[in-house]
């Protein structure tokens, strides 16, 4: 085993170069959802392979039907075998005009609360995945080798549903099987308090396309007699919640569980201020189930949201038209034992009941995955908590996460592994939004945290 202080010192001594490497990765616009950027996703994958290779890992790019995977093996020793996962793809940067600088020209910006790294992907997830790579670098510099077997898996389709990942896991079970997965794609509780996320919401994506007349119609000539598909879609969306914010799809709450008492007690002690949380985005009034706290609404209760709705004329001026078609893209965040397939069926039945007999509805499935929770008795959890407390000078809190990371469910169901979700993002990092940033302090202490976690796991 290495001298931990020497590894931490090496990580700090490397910081300028670490940042320069992160900037190189941030300059590659690896937007997975838009095929115009396929070449850039491949470049990002190749960049990571080269970097891991230089670091002494046995690394390769693995092509898939979608964006390539990066797979690497390194480390040795009798400690648990860990699988580290992150994603190199990013969300599209638009609306571009709201960025204060080019989203793919990273910069350090000084603010009253410290330095920030500003670029698309700085926090989600390139800055985060590089914390692990840089920790591995420091460890190897000092000790020659990582103290436990490590497999690294970076994917390039997380932001567009991880479609290739399930088949990839199935096809490479032996290479990917490990004792525990480590994922750096979540946040801290606040800027001083580290967190381990033990509840992650699942997700279901579905699209509804309603067609009424066989062509767009003059709204004076046909208006009144012809059904309007926007009216049908609007009715569907409006019916999905009752006056108390509950979702009305029959069976939707099947499998939803109350938060276990020990977790509820932890959350109760977190002094979450709903007014502050919503205030930061210009809102005041929690919109979820009336009898639930805002923290429950984002962490432990399921949701139903329309993410986009289109139909008819949306250009300048006006046009008196009854469109032939209207559509809506829906997402559901799932918790506990909610079954994505059962909810898809129930939702589609709910929709069909609201489509008139002379109109048609088609559905486009965009994937789904169940929610996940980490067993609190996991021995890895204790080791990681201690390591985080040593770095931050405060115990780590156990949190939920309203977002989803599709693959984590498959790690459990396909590879039988639990996942430690440990990340250093902050709520105000503006992930998926203009002017995304990652705190320099998240980057530095993130690297140092992984050094300590690797060390603690190796000593188990």
Contact code string over 132-171 relative to Mn ion, x by CB under 5 A: ----------------------------------------
Query: Whose structure tokens read 């500003």?
Result: 118
Q: Where are the beta strands (DSSP E) in 24-166?
A: 58-62, 69-74, 82-87, 107-111, 114-118, 150-155
Decide whether 340 or 406 has the Cβ nearer to ligand BES.
Answer: 406
Q: How far is the CB of 288 from ligand BES (least distance, A)?
A: 16
In this structure, which long-range contacts are made by residues 28-31, counting pairs with CB atoms below 8 Å and at least 24 apart in sequence? 28/104, 29/90, 29/93, 29/103, 29/104, 29/120, 30/67, 30/88, 30/89, 30/90, 30/121, 30/156, 31/89, 31/90, 31/91, 31/92, 31/93, 31/159
Q: How far is the CB of 397 from ligand BES (least distance, A)?
A: 14
Span interacting with Mn ion, options 48-56, 121-129, 220-228, 235-243, rule CB under 5 A: 121-129
Q: How far is the CB of 235 from ligand BES (least distance, A)?
A: 26
Decide whether 92 or 312 has the Cβ nearer to ligand BES.
Answer: 92
Decide whether 73 or 191 has the Cβ nearer to ligand BES.
Answer: 191
User: Angle at which helices 4-26 and 440-458 pack, to 10 degrees?
Assistant: 130
Q: Which residues contact 187 (CB under 8 A, 6 or more apart)?
A: 195, 197, 401, 423, 424, 425, 426, 427, 429
Q: How far is the CB of 128 from Mn ion (least distance, A)?
A: 8
Can you give the C-alpha Rg of the chain in angstroms?
A: 24
Query: What is the C-alpha separation between 185 and 159, in angstroms, rounded?
Result: 12
Q: How far is the CB of 158 from ligand BES (least distance, A)?
A: 5
Q: What share of the chain is helix, strand, coil (3-state, %, to 5)?
A: 35, 25, 40
Q: How far is the CB of 161 from ligand BES (least distance, A)?
A: 5
* Residue 194 binding partner per list ligand BES, Mn ion, none, with a CB distance cut-off of 5 to 8 Å that depends on partner kind: none
Q: Are 76 and 175 in contact (CB under 8 A)?
A: no
Query: What is the C-alpha separation between 367 and 355, in angstroms, rounded?
Result: 23
Tokens, residue 432: 């998926």
Among residues 40, 134, 185, 439, which is the contact residue for Mn ion, using CB under 5 A?
A: 185
What is the dihedral sign for C-alpha 385, 387, 392, 393? positive
Decide whether 155 or 455 has the Cβ nearer to Mn ion.
Answer: 155
Span interacting with Mn ion, options 123-131, 137-145, 215-223, 420-428, rule CB under 5 A: 123-131
Decide whether 185 or 289 has the Cβ nearer to Mn ion.
Answer: 185
Q: How far is the CB of 422 from ligand BES (least distance, A)?
A: 12
Span interacting with Mn ion, options 93-101, 117-125, 291-299, 347-355, rule CB under 5 A: 117-125
Q: How far is the CB of 364 from ligand BES (least distance, A)?
A: 15
Residue 237 CB-half CA count within 13 A: 23
Span interacting with Mn ion, options 122-130, 196-204, 325-333, 407-415, rule CB under 5 A: 122-130
CA terminus-to-terminus distance, the chain: 12
* Residue 187 binding partner per list Mn ion, ligand BES, none, with a CB distance cut-off of 5 to 8 Å that depends on partner kind: ligand BES
Among residues 125, 157, 429, 439, which is the contact residue for Mn ion, using CB under 5 A?
A: 125
Decide whether 11 or 426 has the Cβ nearer to ligand BES.
Answer: 426
Decide whether 146 or 335 has the Cβ nearer to ligand BES.
Answer: 335
* Residue 404 binding partner per list Mn ion, ligand BES, none, with a CB distance cut-off of 5 to 8 Å that depends on partner kind: ligand BES
Q: How far is the CB of 200 from Mn ion (least distance, A)?
A: 12
Query: What is the C-alpha separation between 429 and 438, in angstroms, rounded?
Result: 6
Span interacting with Mn ion, options 67-75, 162-170, 183-191, 370-378, rule CB under 5 A: 183-191
Q: Where are the beta strands (DSSP E) in 273-357?
A: 303-311, 321-322, 325-334
393's torsion region: left (phi>0), alpha (psi -120 to 50) or beta? left
Residue nearest to ligand BES (CB): 403
* Residue 157 binding partner per list ligand BES, Mn ion, none, with a CB distance cut-off of 5 to 8 Å that depends on partner kind: none
Burial 343-353 (b: 16+ CB within 10 A, else e): bbebbbebbee
Helix (H, G, I), strand (E, B) or coil at 384: helix
Q: Which residues contact 365 (CB under 8 A, 6 or more apart)?
A: 205, 206, 207, 344
Q: Note the residues at the interface with ligand BES (CB under 6 A).
A: 124-125, 158-159, 161, 185-187, 203, 401, 403-406
Q: How far is the CB of 437 from Mn ion (least distance, A)?
A: 14
Residue 124 touches Mn ion, criterion: CB under 5 A? yes
Contacts with Mn ion by CB under 5 A lie at 124-125, 185
């Amino acid at each position: 085993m290495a001298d931990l202080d020497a590894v931490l010192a090496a990580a700090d001594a490397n910081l300028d170069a670490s940042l320069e490497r992160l900037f190189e990765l941030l300059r590659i616009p690896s937007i997975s959802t838009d095929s115009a950027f396929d070449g850039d996703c491949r470049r990002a994958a190749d960049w990571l392979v080269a970097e891991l290779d230089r670091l002494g890992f046995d690394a390769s790019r693995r092509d898939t039907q979608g964006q390539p995977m990066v797979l690497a093996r390194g480390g040795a020793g009798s400690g648990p075998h860990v699988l580290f996962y992150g994603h190199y793809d990013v969300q599209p940067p638009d609306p571009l005009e709201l960025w204060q600088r080019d989203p793919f020209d990273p910069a350090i910006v000084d603010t009253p609360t410290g330095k920030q790294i500003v670029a698309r992907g700085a926090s989600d997830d390139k800055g985060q995945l590089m914390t692990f790579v840089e920790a591995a670098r420091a460890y190897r510099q000092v000790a020659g080798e990582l103290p436990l077997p490590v497999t690294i898996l970076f994917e390039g389709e997380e932001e567009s549903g991880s479609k290739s990942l399930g088949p990839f896991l199935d096809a490479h079970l032996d290479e990917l099987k490990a004792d525990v997965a480590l994922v750096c794609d979540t946040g801290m509780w606040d800027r001083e308090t580290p967190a381990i996320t033990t509840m992650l919401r699942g997700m279901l994506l579905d699209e509804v396309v309603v067609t009424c007349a066989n062509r767009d119609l003059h709204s004076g000539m046909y208006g009144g007699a012809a059904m309007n598909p926007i009216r049908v879609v609007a009715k569907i969306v409006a019916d999905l919640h009752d006056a108390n914010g509950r979702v009305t799809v029959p069976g939707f709450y099947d499998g939803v569980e109350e938060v276990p008492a020990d977790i509820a007690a932890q959350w109760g002690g977190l002094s979450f201020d709903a007014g502050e949380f919503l205030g930061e985005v210009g809102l005041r009034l929690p919109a979820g189930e009336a009898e639930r706290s805002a923290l429950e609404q984002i962490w432990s209760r399921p949701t139903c949201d329309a993410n986009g709705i289109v139909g008819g004329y949306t250009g300048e001026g006006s046009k008196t038209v009854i469109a032939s078609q209207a559509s809506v893209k829906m997402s559901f965040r799932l918790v506990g034992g909610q079954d994505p397939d059962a909810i898809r069926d129930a939702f589609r039945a709910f929709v069909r009941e609201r489509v008139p007999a002379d109109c048609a509805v088609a559905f486009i499935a965009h994937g789904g995955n169940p929610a996940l929770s980490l067993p609190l008795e996991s021995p890895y959890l204790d080791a990681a908590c201690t390591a985080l407390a040593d770095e931050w000078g405060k115990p780590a809190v156990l949190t939920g996460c309203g977002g989803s990371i599709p693959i984590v469910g498959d790690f459990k169901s396909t590879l039988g592994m639990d996942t430690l979700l440990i990340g250093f993002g902050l709520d105000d990092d503006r992930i998926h939004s203009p002017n995304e940033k990652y705190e320099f302090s998240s980057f530095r202490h993130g690297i140092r945290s992984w050094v300590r976690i690797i060390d603690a796991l190796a000593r188990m």
